[in-house]
């Protein structure tokens, strides 16, 4: 997911330094889930209203875990943890931020996170195809997602799909793909 966020940031024109910072901080987006009971996180069915209330606390818990710091990486990690479930139309959580009031790193990670969730198996759902996932996300452009960032996501999609294949479960553990990762960072697979 952090690779997806990096690619979206690059296509959006935020520069290599910003893209690398979001790559390093995006993995902390769900750190607040350590405060959510496993019975909710791993529930095979839909969450009820009370369970959703608990689940909706994870962005705030994540921001509290990270804390406020002067360090650029920790600042961005805090912001991402807190804002990755905000929605472009203001119907997200925990603050109900709308449009550009949502920090760009939160908007980017929202796209990367939803795409990753849609194409992945979860306890409550099977993986959707890439085509269906992209179609669902495009349908939510302007509601859930920033329209200009969705353009960047779609431009990055061929590279995102290469990353998806590199990290696919059938390729084995992360250490098994170390040579592929090194090629990406050397610019050979980009």
DSSP secondary structure, 77-121, as one string = HHHHHHHTT--TTS--SSS---GGGS-HHHHHHHHHHHHHHHHS-
Residue 67 has pLDDT above 90, yes or no: yes
Contact call for residues 137 and 156 (beta carbons, < 8 A): no
Summarize the confidence of residues 163-176 as an average pLDDT.
62
The owner of tokens 């009031």 is 101
End-to-end CA distance of the chain: 17
CATH of the domain at 170: 1.10.3210.10
Q: Is 33 a catalytic residue?
A: yes
In a domain, 190, yes or no: no
Contact call for residues 32 and 63 (beta carbons, < 8 A): yes
What tokens does 15 get?
């520069």
In a domain, 73, yes or no: yes
Kindly state the greatest CA–CA separation across the chain.
49
In a domain, 137, yes or no: yes
In a domain, 35, yes or no: yes
Which one from 33, 43, 98, 164 is the annotated catalytic residue? 33
Position 170 confidence tier, pLDDT thresholds 50, 70, 90: low
Contact call for residues 50 and 41 (beta carbons, < 8 A): no
Q: Which residues contact 127 (CB under 8 A, 6 or more apart)?
A: 118, 119, 120, 121
Residue 185 has what pLDDT? 47
In a domain, 114, yes or no: yes
Residue 31 has pLDDT above 50, yes or no: yes
**Residue-averaged pLDDT of the chain:** 90
In a domain, 157, yes or no: yes
The domain of 76 spans 2-185
Q: How many domains does the chain have?
A: 1
Residue 118 has what pLDDT? 95
What tokens does 122 get?
């979860």
In a domain, 78, yes or no: yes
In a domain, 110, yes or no: yes
Residue 77 has pLDDT above 60, yes or no: yes
Could you report the per-residue pLDDT of 133-160, keeping only the tens digit for each?
A: 999 999 999 999 999 999 999 999 999 9
């Amino acid at each position: 997911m952090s690779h997806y966020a990096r690619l979206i940031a690059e296509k959006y024109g935020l520069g290599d330094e910003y893209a690398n910072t979001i790559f390093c901080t995006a993995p902390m987006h769900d750190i607040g889930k350590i405060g959510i009971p496993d019975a909710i996180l791993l529930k095979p069915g839909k969450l009820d209203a009370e369970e959703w209330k608990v689940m909706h606390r994870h962005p705030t818990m994540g921001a509290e875990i990270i804390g406020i710091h002067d360090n650029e990486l920790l600042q961005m990690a805090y912001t991402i943890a807190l804002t990755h479930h905000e929605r472009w139309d203001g119907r997200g959580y925990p603050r109900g931020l709308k449009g550009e009031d949502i920090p760009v790193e939160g908007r980017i990670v929202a796209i990367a996170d939803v795409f990753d969730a849609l194409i992945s198996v979860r306890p409550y759902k099977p993986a959707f195809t890439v085509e269906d996932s992209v179609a669902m996300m495009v349908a939510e452009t302007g509601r859930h997602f920033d329209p200009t960032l969705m353009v960047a996501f779609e431009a990055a999609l061929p590279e995102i799909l290469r990353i998806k294949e590199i990290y696919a479960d059938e390729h084995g553990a992360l250490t098994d793909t170390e040579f592929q990762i090194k090629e990406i960072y050397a610019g050979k697979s980009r």
